[in-house]
């Protein structure tokens, strides 16, 4: 499957060369694409990650958009969680962090209340920092994270570069905070890749880009289904995966694969991406 995907990308790249270079859709003067540029048509039907059915996308002539998750697909671990543990909850804030986690941990086990718990953990960790200081800390931490040995998932990074080389429009869609995710992407050579992420204002989490919210955020930026390929390691992204012609589940366990396959059927591809190795692909 991996070889077929690479051959398909190579063939499309050769065809585009023969036809001549395409304009960079949505490009800005700063080199980053404008997410308000609509490039796809709407999916017939889909439901949220907890629904029982995900509609099959209808092919559109411009559907060469590729969606990548961030944590677990490009970066090992939870980038914002690492920031909270290593920076926001360091030193004198550690007792406060422990108390908050003890109180919120039971609530976080309930999927409905998980976003609410995440907002409070974030707010407690960021309390007392002004917006400029926080932005500088996030940028610095993101740059360091991008250079940390073993942190970046090499097969995921190679796959993004393969899609970019083929002329695909690549969008990273993540629950990670925007400034932090942007700093990591810039550090690993993906400064021109589009990003849709969570947003904070000072210590407050104002947009938690998680689950079905990702679909709403994309639609708000003018990006609507279907997309050609979507990569994620989380079942909370079933709406994103369901809107793809080729959904790819990364590093999933047997239980996750079974549930995703019930909803997505035979079009689901699963991959295991290990550091320093090529992707192992299963059907």
Residues 172 and 211 in one domain: yes
In contact, 213 and 53? CB cutoff 8 Å: no
199 and 268 fall within a common domain: yes
Asked if 59 and 188 sit in the same domain, the reply is: yes
User: Using CA atoms, how far apart are residues 235 and 281, in angstroms rounded to an integer?
Assistant: 18
In-domain check, residue 99: yes
Asked if residue 97 is part of any domain, the answer here is yes
Are both 157 and 123 inside the same structural domain? no
pLDDT of res. 91: 56
Q: Are residues 92 and 134 in the same domain?
A: yes
pLDDT at 225: 93
pLDDT at 16: 55
Residues 170 and 131 in one domain: no
In a domain, 10, yes or no: no
Same-domain pairing of 241 and 127 = no
Q: What is the pTM of this model?
A: 0.72
- Tell which of 94, 112, 144 closes a domain: 144
Total number of domains in the chain: 2
Question: pLDDT value at position 181?
Answer: 98
Residue tagged 């700093």 (tokens): 183
Domain enclosing residue 166, as ranges: 23-77+151-282
Does 185 share its domain with 53? yes
CA dihedral 116, 119, 121, 124 (to 10 degrees): -130
Are 160 and 216 contained in the same domain? yes
Band of pLDDT at residue 146, cut at 50, 70 and 90: very high
For residues 72 and 167, state if they share a domain. Answer: yes
Structure confidence at residue 40 (pLDDT): 32
Q: Are the C-beta atoms of residues 230 and 66 closer than 8 Å to each other?
A: yes
Q: What is the mean pLDDT of the chain?
A: 77
Assess if residue 9 is contained within a domain. no
Question: Strand order of the sheet with strand 280-282?
Answer: 204-207, 194-201, 169-177, 65-68, 227-232, 244-250, 269-272, 280-282
Q: What is the mean pLDDT of residues 198-214?
A: 88
Same-domain pairing of 229 and 256: yes
pLDDT of 189 > 80? The answer is yes
Structure tokens at 75: 């970066």
Inside any domain, residue 187: yes
Instruction: Please name the helix (run of DSSP H) or strand (run of DSSP E) that holds residue 68, with its range, or none.
Output: strand 65-68
């Amino acid at each position: 499957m991996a070889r077929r995907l690479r051959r398909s990308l190579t063939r499309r790249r050769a065809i585009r060369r023969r036809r001549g270079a395409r304009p960079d859709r949505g490009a800005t003067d700063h080199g980053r694409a404008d997410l308000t540029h609509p490039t796809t048509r709407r999916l017939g039907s889909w439901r949220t990650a907890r629904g029982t059915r995900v509609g099959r996308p209808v092919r559109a002539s411009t559907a060469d958009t590729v969606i990548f998750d961030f944590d677990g697909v490009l970066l090992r671990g939870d980038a914002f969680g690492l920031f909270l543990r290593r920076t926001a909850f360091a030193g004198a804030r550690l007792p406060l962090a422990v108390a908050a986690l003890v109180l919120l941990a039971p609530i976080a086990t309930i999927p409905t209340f998980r976003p609410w718990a995440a907002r409070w953990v974030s707010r407690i960790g960021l309390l007392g920092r002004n917006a400029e200081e926080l932005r500088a800390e996030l940028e610095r931490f993101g740059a360091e994270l991008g250079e940390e040995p073993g942190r970046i998932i090499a097969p995921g990074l190679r796959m993004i570069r393969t899609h970019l080389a083929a002329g695909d429009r690549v969008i990273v869609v993540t629950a990670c905070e925007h400034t932090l995710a942007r700093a990591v992407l810039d550090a690993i050579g993906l400064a021109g890749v589009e990003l849709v992420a969570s947003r904070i204002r000072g210590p407050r989490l104002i947009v938690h880009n998680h689950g079905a919210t990702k679909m709403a955020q994309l639609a708000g930026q003018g990006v609507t289904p279907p997309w050609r390929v979507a990569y994620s390691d989380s079942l909370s992204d079933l709406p994103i995966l369901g809107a793809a012609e080729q959904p790819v589940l990364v590093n999933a366990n047997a239980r996750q694969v079974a549930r995703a396959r019930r909803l997505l059927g035979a079009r689901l591809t699963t991959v295991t991406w290990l550091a320093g190795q090529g992707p192992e692909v299963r059907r």
